[in-house]
Amino acid sequence: MIVVPGPSSTKLGGKVAEILGVRKVDVEYKNFPDGESYLRLSEAVSGEEVALIHTTYPHPDKRILELLLLINTLKDLGARHITAVVPYMAYARQDSRFREGEAISINTIFRLIEGAGADEFITVDVHKEFSLKVFGIEAKNIRAAEAIAEYLRGMDLVRPYILSPDRGALKIAQSIGERLGAEYGNFEKTRDRISGAITVKGERVEARGRDVVIADDLISTGGTIASASKIVKGEGARRVIAVCTHPLLVGDALPKMRGAGVDEVIGTDTIESEVSRISVAQLIAKELSKS
Kindly tell me which of 217 and 269 has the beta carbon lying closer to ligand R5P.
217
What DSSP state is assigned to residue 132? Answer: G
Residue 222 lies near ligand R5P (rule: CB under 6 A): yes
**Backbone φ/ψ region at 187: left (φ over 0), alpha (ψ -120 to 50), beta:** beta
Among 8, 56, 220, 229, binds ligand R5P (CB under 6 A): 220
Q: Which of 270, 276, 245, 244 is nearest to 257 (CA)?
A: 244
Least distance to ligand R5P from the beta carbon of 121, Å?
Answer: 21
Residue 171 annotated as catalytic: no
d(CA 207, CA 236): 6
Least distance to ligand R5P from the beta carbon of 209, Å?
Answer: 27
Kindly tell me which of 108 and 199 has the beta carbon lying closer to ligand R5P.
199
Kindly tell me which of 190 and 289 has the beta carbon lying closer to ligand R5P.
190
Q: Are 45 and 91 in contact (CB under 8 A)?
A: no
Catalytic residue selected from 189, 230, 256, 290? 189
d(CA 256, CA 165): 16
Burial label, 217 (beta-carbon count in 10 A; 0-12, 13-18, 19+): buried
Q: What pairs with residue 86 in β-bridges?
A: 123
Residue 107: alpha-carbon gap to chain centroid: 18
Among 218, 228, 243, 265, binds ligand R5P (CB under 6 A): 218
What is the DSSP track for 60-116? HHHHHHHHHHHHHHHHHTT-SEEEEEESS-TTTT--S-SSTT---HHHHHHHHHHHH
Kindly tell me which of 218 and 280 has the beta carbon lying closer to ligand R5P.
218
What is the footprint of ligand R5P within residues 157-176 (CB under 6 A)? Answer: 166, 168-169
Among 55, 224, 270, 279, binds ligand R5P (CB under 6 A): 224
Q: Are 65 and 35 in contact (CB under 8 A)?
A: no
Among 221, 230, 272, 282, binds ligand R5P (CB under 6 A): 221
Kindly tell me which of 38 and 98 has the beta carbon lying closer to ligand R5P.
98
Kindly tell me which of 83 and 224 has the beta carbon lying closer to ligand R5P.
224
Least distance to ligand R5P from the beta carbon of 219, Å?
Answer: 5
Q: Binding string to ligand R5P for residues 90 to 129, with x set by CB under 6 A, is what?
A: ---x------------------------------------
Q: Which of 71, 73, 70, 80 is nearest to 46 (CA)?
A: 80
Size of the site for ligand R5P (CB under 6 A): 13
Q: What pairs with residue 215 in β-bridges?
A: 243
What is the footprint of ligand R5P within residues 198-217 (CB under 6 A)? Answer: 216-217
Apex CA 43: angle with CA 281 and CA 286, to 5°?
20
Q: Binding string to ligand R5P for residues 39 to 78, with x set by CB under 6 A, is what?
A: ----------------------------------------
Residues forming the site for ligand R5P (CB under 6 A): 93, 166, 168-169, 216-224
Query: Which residues are marked as active site?
Result: 189
